[in-house]
């Protein structure tokens, strides 16, 4: 199975650049990335993204914390484009499972990207409430789990296994820390991995020999030492 690469960014220049790359099959954003990109009006900024990318999946996240806010925002975001996946966190900031809103949106045939997932137990809870026809992405945060000393791989294995009966569900490796995560995601059978732009560029260089890497590394040392005008 091919693991699709999505680009994880809200920077308009980056979206323009990476939307042209065949290797990139979609885009993911979140409120933090939107803020970092300088977005002030969420709707108008999102529409700028969708104007650039109108033929690949784009995940746009709700930012409300209550059921009412999330539902209102999700229904509006869903109208912005046919390629939109409405991104909804698995819980709110109080840790309350957002099963009610997930189920309702799913039954309205709204494509969802359910985010901030860390465990197969959370994946299982989602699978119990969704149908088997409307597209759903389940985003598991590998890097952040690893940052706490926990191995995310067993959670991916279990999640992928229990999701096999759902042809409409895709498991996404989120929170990438290094290019090698792409190979890990492929080996596990993840449907998607979302990757920051700079890391995608590194993946495009896969296949270099150790000898090539050694030479490039030493060249970089030489260039920097000359720029610094080091002397002993």
pLDDT number for residue 58:
98
Give the pTM: 0.92
Name the stretches of the chain with pLDDT < 50: none
Question: Between 3.40.50.300, 3.20.20.70, 1.10.10.10, 3.40.190.80, what CATH number should domain 4-228 receive?
Answer: 3.20.20.70
pLDDT number for residue 205:
83
Q: Report how far Cα 140 is from the mean position of its chain's Cα atoms.
A: 9
């Amino acid at each position: 199975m091919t693991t699709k690469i999505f680009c994880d960014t809200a920077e308009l220049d980056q979206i323009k650049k990476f939307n042209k790359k065949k290797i990139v099959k979609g885009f993911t954003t979140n409120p933090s990335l939107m803020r970092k990109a300088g977005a002030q009006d969420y709707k108008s900024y999102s529409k700028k993204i969708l104007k650039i990318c109108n033929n690949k999946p784009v995940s746009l996240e709700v930012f409300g914390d209550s059921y009412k806010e999330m539902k209102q925002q999700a229904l509006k975001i869903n109208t912005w484009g046919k390629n939109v996946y409405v991104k909804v966190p698995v819980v709110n900031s109080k840790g309350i499972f957002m099963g009610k809103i997930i189920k309702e949106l799913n039954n309205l045939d709204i494509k969802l990207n359910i985010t901030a997932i860390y465990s197969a137990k959370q994946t299982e809870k989602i699978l119990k409430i969704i149908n088997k026809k409307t597209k759903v992405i389940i985003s598991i945060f590998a890097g952040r789990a690893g940052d706490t000393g926990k191995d995310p791989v067993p959670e991916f294995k279990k999640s992928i296994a229990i999701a096999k009966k759902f042809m409409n569900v895709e498991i996404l490796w989120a929170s990438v820390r290094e290019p090698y995560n792409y190979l890990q995601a492929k080996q596990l059978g993840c449907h998607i991995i979302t990757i920051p732009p700079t890391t995608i560029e590194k993946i495009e260089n896969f296949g270099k020999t150790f000898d090539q890497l050694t030479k490039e590394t030493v060249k970089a040392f030489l260039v920097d030492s000359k720029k610094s005008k080091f002397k002993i």
